[in-house]
A = this chain, B = another copy of it.
């Protein structure tokens, strides 16, 4: 049995609130159970220097955790004067995932920055960030279409993410912190709404995993992401 009492293929309660921020072009407060992430998209009419005069746009992400979003307090990165390797790794993953479904040519020479700030952490902050970040990105781009600055939405499809793991040898979906800290493998899957794999990262914790176990994790992730994609569509529609 999972500590959370959930079925192996059961997501935590998912909540997506678009339009959470009064100032931003796009935003979404995403909750995967007790993991709460505020995703906010900002549009800037300039691109990184390597894209200048290329006619192409860019989507990037930044990630942060409030110091006491975690069970014990973590030192504030702004006070320590640098971002940890974990932070940089996660924000690079979020950025790549969102770019994978964006038509950067159609976006034109502008940049969307998606800030994902964890208000409360209970496992799966990076997958919640990607799932909610997509909503914030969608809303921000929709404002450009509404203002006539873009002919159509430069998004090819949806993207969402979920974690899986091996718990007592069984593949389980969407680990919370208690499960994650005891899992025998830690896997993160990013998939598009058409079922394509955008990114997978699988890490064995104590003993290497087998190809069969990888396959089981992948199958579980597909189910979970299909559900998240439906939740995204409903949230966008309802906004």
Tell me whether A204 is interfacial, beta carbon within 8 Å. yes
Tell me whether A22 is interfacial, beta carbon within 8 Å. yes
Nearest to A92 among chain B residues (CB) is B85
Contact among B66, B194, B218 with A117 in the assembled complex (CB-CB below 8 Å): B66
- Across-interface contacts of A68 in B (CB, < 8 A): 21, 23-24, 27, 40, 42, 115
A111 to chain B, nearest CB (A): 11
- A100–B38 CB distance below 8 A: no
Tell me whether A4 is interfacial, beta carbon within 8 Å. no
- A69–B199 CB distance below 8 A: no
Tell me whether A216 is interfacial, beta carbon within 8 Å. no
A91 to chain B, nearest CB (A): 8
Tell me whether A13 is interfacial, beta carbon within 8 Å. no
Known contacts A81-B81, A120-B22, A214-B197; decide if A76 and B62 are in contact (CB<8 Å): yes
Tell me whether A15 is interfacial, beta carbon within 8 Å. no
Known contacts A23-B68, A64-B76, A120-B21; decide if A197 and B218 are in contact (CB<8 Å): no
A227 to chain B, nearest CB (A): 18
Q: Chain A at the B interface: mostly helix, strand, loop or mixed?
A: mixed
- A197–B191 CB distance below 8 A: no
Known contacts A78-B64, A88-B88; decide if A22 and B34 are in contact (CB<8 Å): yes
Nearest to A203 among chain B residues (CB) is B199
Tell me whether A7 is interfacial, beta carbon within 8 Å. no
- Across-interface contacts of A87 in B (CB, < 8 A): 78
| Chain A, 113-156, CB within 8 A of any chain B CB | 113, 115, 117, 119-120, 122
- Across-interface contacts of A211 in B (CB, < 8 A): 197, 218
- Across-interface contacts of A199 in B (CB, < 8 A): 201-204
Tell me whether A49 is interfacial, beta carbon within 8 Å. no
- B191–A198 CB distance below 8 A: no
| 10 nearest CB pairs, A to B | A196-B208, A85-B88, A77-B78, A42-B73, A40-B68, A78-B78, A89-B89, A192-B208, A200-B202, A24-B68
